[in-house]
Structure 1
Amino acid sequence: MLDEDQGLYTIGTVAELIEEHPETLRVWERNNLIHPERKGRQRRYSNNDIKRLQFIKYLIDQKGLNIAGARHIISMYSCWYNRNCKGGAYRNSPISVNESKACWKIQNTFCLIASDKAEMCNSCALLKSCQAGEECNIKDNG
Protein backbone atom coordinates (compact mmCIF):
# COMPACT_ATOMS: atom_id res chain seq x y z
CA MET A 1 0.00 0.00 0.00
CA LEU A 2 1.35 3.41 -0.98
CA ASP A 3 1.93 6.02 1.74
CA GLU A 4 0.34 9.19 0.37
CA ASP A 5 2.75 11.29 2.47
CA GLN A 6 5.96 9.64 1.28
CA GLY A 7 8.17 11.99 -0.73
CA LEU A 8 8.57 10.46 -4.19
CA TYR A 9 8.76 13.23 -6.77
CA THR A 10 11.43 15.82 -7.54
CA ILE A 11 10.64 19.49 -7.90
CA GLY A 12 11.03 19.31 -11.69
CA THR A 13 8.54 16.47 -12.00
CA VAL A 14 6.00 18.20 -9.75
CA ALA A 15 6.42 21.52 -11.56
CA GLU A 16 5.56 19.77 -14.83
CA LEU A 17 2.58 17.97 -13.29
CA ILE A 18 0.96 21.13 -11.95
CA GLU A 19 2.21 23.37 -14.78
CA GLU A 20 4.17 25.80 -12.62
CA HIS A 21 7.81 26.88 -12.70
CA PRO A 22 10.06 25.18 -10.11
CA GLU A 23 10.96 28.59 -8.68
CA THR A 24 7.26 29.20 -7.99
CA LEU A 25 7.22 26.05 -5.85
CA ARG A 26 10.30 27.30 -3.99
CA VAL A 27 8.58 30.64 -3.35
CA TRP A 28 5.50 28.85 -2.00
CA GLU A 29 7.75 26.78 0.26
CA ARG A 30 9.60 29.89 1.55
CA ASN A 31 6.18 31.35 2.37
CA ASN A 32 5.18 28.29 4.42
CA LEU A 33 2.44 27.15 2.05
CA ILE A 34 4.06 23.76 1.53
CA HIS A 35 6.72 21.70 3.32
CA PRO A 36 8.10 18.94 1.09
CA GLU A 37 10.26 16.22 2.56
CA ARG A 38 14.02 16.68 2.19
CA LYS A 39 16.57 14.04 1.26
CA GLY A 40 19.88 15.80 1.62
CA ARG A 41 19.45 19.03 -0.31
CA GLN A 42 16.79 17.65 -2.63
CA ARG A 43 13.08 18.23 -2.16
CA ARG A 44 10.80 15.21 -2.42
CA TYR A 45 7.09 15.80 -2.89
CA SER A 46 4.41 13.30 -1.88
CA ASN A 47 1.05 12.65 -3.52
CA ASN A 48 -0.58 14.74 -0.77
CA ASP A 49 1.94 17.54 -1.40
CA ILE A 50 0.82 17.56 -5.03
CA LYS A 51 -2.81 17.88 -3.90
CA ARG A 52 -1.81 20.75 -1.61
CA LEU A 53 0.03 22.46 -4.47
CA GLN A 54 -2.95 22.05 -6.77
CA PHE A 55 -5.16 23.69 -4.14
CA ILE A 56 -2.67 26.56 -3.69
CA LYS A 57 -2.58 27.01 -7.46
CA TYR A 58 -6.40 27.06 -7.52
CA LEU A 59 -6.50 29.74 -4.81
CA ILE A 60 -3.97 31.91 -6.63
CA ASP A 61 -4.99 31.36 -10.27
CA GLN A 62 -8.75 30.84 -10.02
CA LYS A 63 -9.67 32.81 -6.90
CA GLY A 64 -7.19 35.63 -7.49
CA LEU A 65 -5.50 35.47 -4.10
CA ASN A 66 -1.91 36.49 -3.49
CA ILE A 67 0.47 34.40 -1.37
CA ALA A 68 -0.60 36.08 1.88
CA GLY A 69 -4.26 35.43 1.04
CA ALA A 70 -3.57 31.78 0.19
CA ARG A 71 -1.59 31.39 3.44
CA HIS A 72 -4.52 32.87 5.38
CA ILE A 73 -7.01 30.50 3.74
CA ILE A 74 -4.93 27.37 4.30
CA SER A 75 -4.38 28.36 7.95
CA MET A 76 -8.10 27.67 8.38
CA TYR A 77 -7.65 24.05 7.28
CA SER A 78 -6.97 22.18 10.48
CA CYS A 79 -5.76 19.13 8.56
CA TRP A 80 -3.42 20.96 6.13
CA TYR A 81 -0.28 19.43 7.70
CA ASN A 82 -1.95 16.38 9.24
CA ARG A 83 -0.83 13.06 7.79
CA ASN A 84 -4.13 11.41 8.61
CA CYS A 85 -6.47 13.92 6.99
CA LYS A 86 -9.37 11.93 5.57
CA GLY A 87 -10.25 14.50 2.93
CA GLY A 88 -13.73 15.72 2.25
CA ALA A 89 -17.17 14.56 1.27
CA TYR A 90 -19.53 15.46 -1.54
CA ARG A 91 -22.58 17.66 -1.21
CA ASN A 92 -25.72 15.66 -0.36
CA SER A 93 -23.56 13.10 1.45
CA PRO A 94 -24.87 11.51 4.66
CA ILE A 95 -21.70 12.91 6.31
CA SER A 96 -21.98 16.48 7.59
CA VAL A 97 -19.96 18.90 5.45
CA ASN A 98 -19.27 22.62 5.46
CA GLU A 99 -20.59 23.65 2.04
CA SER A 100 -18.84 27.02 2.25
CA LYS A 101 -15.39 25.43 2.55
CA ALA A 102 -14.01 23.37 -0.31
CA CYS A 103 -11.71 20.53 0.74
CA TRP A 104 -8.08 20.86 -0.39
CA LYS A 105 -7.50 17.13 -0.60
CA ILE A 106 -10.25 15.91 -2.92
CA GLN A 107 -11.37 18.19 -5.73
CA ASN A 108 -15.07 19.16 -5.74
CA THR A 109 -15.60 18.03 -2.14
CA PHE A 110 -16.21 19.98 1.03
CA CYS A 111 -14.59 19.95 4.46
CA LEU A 112 -16.06 17.61 7.00
CA ILE A 113 -17.68 19.17 10.05
CA ALA A 114 -15.81 18.08 13.17
CA SER A 115 -18.02 16.09 15.52
CA ASP A 116 -16.03 17.25 18.56
CA LYS A 117 -13.24 19.69 19.42
CA ALA A 118 -10.64 16.90 19.56
CA GLU A 119 -10.90 16.54 15.77
CA MET A 120 -10.02 20.19 15.23
CA CYS A 121 -6.29 20.72 14.98
CA ASN A 122 -6.47 24.52 14.98
CA SER A 123 -5.52 24.51 18.66
CA CYS A 124 -2.75 21.92 18.40
CA ALA A 125 0.91 22.83 19.00
CA LEU A 126 1.98 21.57 15.54
CA LEU A 127 -0.33 23.91 13.67
CA LYS A 128 0.50 26.86 15.91
CA SER A 129 4.25 26.38 15.36
CA CYS A 130 3.79 26.09 11.59
CA GLN A 131 1.71 29.27 11.49
CA ALA A 132 4.28 31.11 13.59
CA GLY A 133 6.93 30.35 10.97
CA GLU A 134 8.78 27.89 13.18
CA GLU A 135 10.10 24.65 11.75
CA CYS A 136 7.29 22.13 11.27
CA ASN A 137 8.07 18.50 11.99
CA ILE A 138 5.12 17.42 9.91
CA LYS A 139 6.28 13.98 8.86
CA ASP A 140 6.87 12.94 12.49
CA ASN A 141 3.36 13.76 13.67
CA GLY A 142 0.08 12.16 12.86
Structure 2
Amino acid sequence: MLDEDQGLYTIGTVAELIEEHPETLRVWERNDLIHPDRKGHQRRYSNNDVKRLQFIKYLIDKKGLNIAGVKHLISIYSCWYNRNCKGGAYQNSPVSINEAKACWKTKDTYCLVASDKAEMCNSCALLRSCKKQQDCSD
Protein backbone atom coordinates (compact mmCIF):
# COMPACT_ATOMS: atom_id res chain seq x y z
CA MET A 1 0.00 0.00 0.00
CA LEU A 2 1.32 3.41 -0.96
CA ASP A 3 2.00 5.92 1.79
CA GLU A 4 0.54 9.22 0.56
CA ASP A 5 3.02 11.12 2.76
CA GLN A 6 6.18 9.39 1.54
CA GLY A 7 8.51 11.72 -0.38
CA LEU A 8 8.85 10.32 -3.90
CA TYR A 9 9.18 13.17 -6.39
CA THR A 10 11.98 15.65 -7.05
CA ILE A 11 11.32 19.37 -7.27
CA GLY A 12 11.72 19.29 -11.07
CA THR A 13 9.12 16.57 -11.46
CA VAL A 14 6.62 18.31 -9.18
CA ALA A 15 7.21 21.71 -10.81
CA GLU A 16 6.42 20.15 -14.17
CA LEU A 17 3.34 18.38 -12.78
CA ILE A 18 1.77 21.54 -11.39
CA GLU A 19 3.15 23.83 -14.11
CA GLU A 20 5.18 26.08 -11.83
CA HIS A 21 8.85 27.01 -11.84
CA PRO A 22 10.98 25.14 -9.28
CA GLU A 23 11.99 28.47 -7.72
CA THR A 24 8.31 29.19 -7.02
CA LEU A 25 8.13 25.96 -5.01
CA ARG A 26 11.23 27.04 -3.09
CA VAL A 27 9.61 30.40 -2.32
CA TRP A 28 6.49 28.66 -1.05
CA GLU A 29 8.66 26.43 1.12
CA ARG A 30 10.60 29.41 2.53
CA ASN A 31 7.24 30.93 3.47
CA ASP A 32 6.20 27.77 5.38
CA LEU A 33 3.41 26.84 2.99
CA ILE A 34 4.90 23.42 2.31
CA HIS A 35 7.43 21.15 4.02
CA PRO A 36 8.75 18.46 1.65
CA ASP A 37 10.88 15.65 3.00
CA ARG A 38 14.64 15.82 2.50
CA LYS A 39 16.95 13.10 1.32
CA GLY A 40 20.37 14.61 1.83
CA HIS A 41 20.06 18.04 0.25
CA GLN A 42 17.36 17.01 -2.20
CA ARG A 43 13.69 17.77 -1.65
CA ARG A 44 11.30 14.84 -1.96
CA TYR A 45 7.62 15.64 -2.43
CA SER A 46 4.84 13.20 -1.50
CA ASN A 47 1.48 12.74 -3.19
CA ASN A 48 -0.09 14.81 -0.41
CA ASP A 49 2.55 17.52 -0.95
CA VAL A 50 1.51 17.65 -4.61
CA LYS A 51 -2.13 18.06 -3.54
CA ARG A 52 -1.13 20.85 -1.13
CA LEU A 53 0.84 22.58 -3.88
CA GLN A 54 -2.10 22.31 -6.28
CA PHE A 55 -4.33 23.87 -3.62
CA ILE A 56 -1.82 26.69 -3.03
CA LYS A 57 -1.65 27.29 -6.78
CA TYR A 58 -5.46 27.37 -6.94
CA LEU A 59 -5.63 29.93 -4.12
CA ILE A 60 -3.04 32.15 -5.81
CA ASP A 61 -4.14 31.78 -9.46
CA LYS A 62 -7.91 31.43 -9.14
CA LYS A 63 -8.75 33.16 -5.85
CA GLY A 64 -6.19 35.96 -6.19
CA LEU A 65 -4.50 35.48 -2.82
CA ASN A 66 -0.90 36.44 -2.19
CA ILE A 67 1.49 34.33 -0.11
CA ALA A 68 0.42 36.05 3.12
CA GLY A 69 -3.23 35.35 2.30
CA VAL A 70 -2.51 31.72 1.53
CA LYS A 71 -0.50 31.39 4.74
CA HIS A 72 -3.38 32.82 6.76
CA LEU A 73 -5.97 30.64 5.06
CA ILE A 74 -4.09 27.38 5.44
CA SER A 75 -3.58 28.15 9.12
CA ILE A 76 -7.28 27.32 9.67
CA TYR A 77 -6.75 23.86 8.21
CA SER A 78 -5.90 21.74 11.23
CA CYS A 79 -5.29 18.83 8.86
CA TRP A 80 -2.78 20.66 6.59
CA TYR A 81 0.09 18.46 7.80
CA ASN A 82 -2.00 15.72 9.39
CA ARG A 83 -0.89 12.32 8.11
CA ASN A 84 -4.33 10.89 8.90
CA CYS A 85 -6.46 13.39 6.98
CA LYS A 86 -9.07 11.45 5.05
CA GLY A 87 -10.08 14.35 2.81
CA GLY A 88 -13.40 16.08 2.42
CA ALA A 89 -16.91 15.21 1.35
CA TYR A 90 -18.92 16.21 -1.69
CA GLN A 91 -21.69 18.77 -1.50
CA ASN A 92 -24.56 16.23 -1.55
CA SER A 93 -22.96 14.00 1.06
CA PRO A 94 -25.03 12.87 4.07
CA VAL A 95 -22.32 14.10 6.46
CA SER A 96 -22.12 17.68 7.63
CA ILE A 97 -19.74 19.82 5.57
CA ASN A 98 -18.56 23.41 5.62
CA GLU A 99 -19.30 24.75 2.13
CA ALA A 100 -17.17 27.82 2.86
CA LYS A 101 -14.06 25.70 3.39
CA ALA A 102 -12.84 23.80 0.33
CA CYS A 103 -10.85 20.67 1.10
CA TRP A 104 -7.19 20.89 0.07
CA LYS A 105 -6.84 17.15 -0.35
CA THR A 106 -9.75 16.15 -2.57
CA LYS A 107 -10.75 18.49 -5.39
CA ASP A 108 -14.35 19.78 -5.38
CA THR A 109 -15.00 18.61 -1.80
CA TYR A 110 -15.40 20.46 1.48
CA CYS A 111 -13.97 20.06 4.96
CA LEU A 112 -15.77 17.92 7.49
CA VAL A 113 -14.00 18.94 10.68
CA ALA A 114 -14.61 22.27 12.39
CA SER A 115 -11.36 24.05 13.15
CA ASP A 116 -12.66 27.00 15.11
CA LYS A 117 -15.30 27.53 17.79
CA ALA A 118 -17.70 29.42 15.52
CA GLU A 119 -17.86 26.42 13.17
CA MET A 120 -18.26 24.03 16.09
CA CYS A 121 -21.17 26.07 17.45
CA ASN A 122 -22.91 26.19 14.09
CA SER A 123 -22.64 22.42 13.67
CA CYS A 124 -23.60 21.59 17.25
CA ALA A 125 -26.79 19.51 17.49
CA LEU A 126 -27.63 21.10 20.86
CA LEU A 127 -27.46 24.61 19.38
CA ARG A 128 -29.62 23.58 16.39
CA SER A 129 -32.31 22.10 18.62
CA CYS A 130 -32.06 25.12 20.89
CA LYS A 131 -32.60 27.51 17.98
CA LYS A 132 -35.70 25.56 16.95
CA GLN A 133 -37.16 25.96 20.44
CA GLN A 134 -36.21 29.67 20.60
CA ASP A 135 -35.99 29.49 24.40
CA CYS A 136 -32.27 29.04 24.92
CA SER A 137 -30.26 30.76 27.55
CA ASP A 138 -26.52 31.26 27.86
TM-score, length-normalised on structure 1?
Answer: 0.79
Per-residue CA distance 1:34-93 (angstroms, 9 max, x = gap): 000000000000000000000000000000000000000000101001000010000110
Distance 2:17 2:71 in 1: 22
The Cα of 1:113 is off from its aligned counterpart by 3.3
2:73 maps to a residue whose letter is: I
Query: Where does the alignment leave 5 or more consecutive residues of structure 2 unmatched?
Result: 121-138
How do 1:1-142 residues align onto structure 2 when only pairs under 5 Å count? 1-114=1-114
Distance 2:20 2:3 in 1: 25
TM-score, length-normalised on structure 2?
Answer: 0.82
Distance 1:110 1:38 in 2: 30
CA RMSD after TM alignment: 1.3
Distance 1:72 1:91 in 2: 25
The Cα of 1:95 is off from its aligned counterpart by 1.1
Identical aligned residues as a percent: 84
Distance 1:111 1:89 in 2: 7
May I ask how many residue pairs the two structures share in their alignment?
116
SS at match of 1:83: coil
Runs of 4+ in structure 1 off by over 4 angstroms are: none
2:88 maps to a residue whose letter is: G
SS at match of 1:23: helix
Query: Where does the alignment leave 5 or more consecutive residues of structure 1 unmatched?
Result: 121-142
Distance 2:105 2:15 in 1: 18
Q: Which has the larger radius of gyration?
A: 2
Distance 1:113 1:46 in 2: 23
Structure possessing the higher relative contact order (Cα contacts under 8 Å, 6 or more residues apart):
1
SS at match of 2:38: strand
Per-residue CA distance 1:99-132 (angstroms, 9 max, x = gap): 1110000000000034xx9xx9xxxxxxxxxxxx
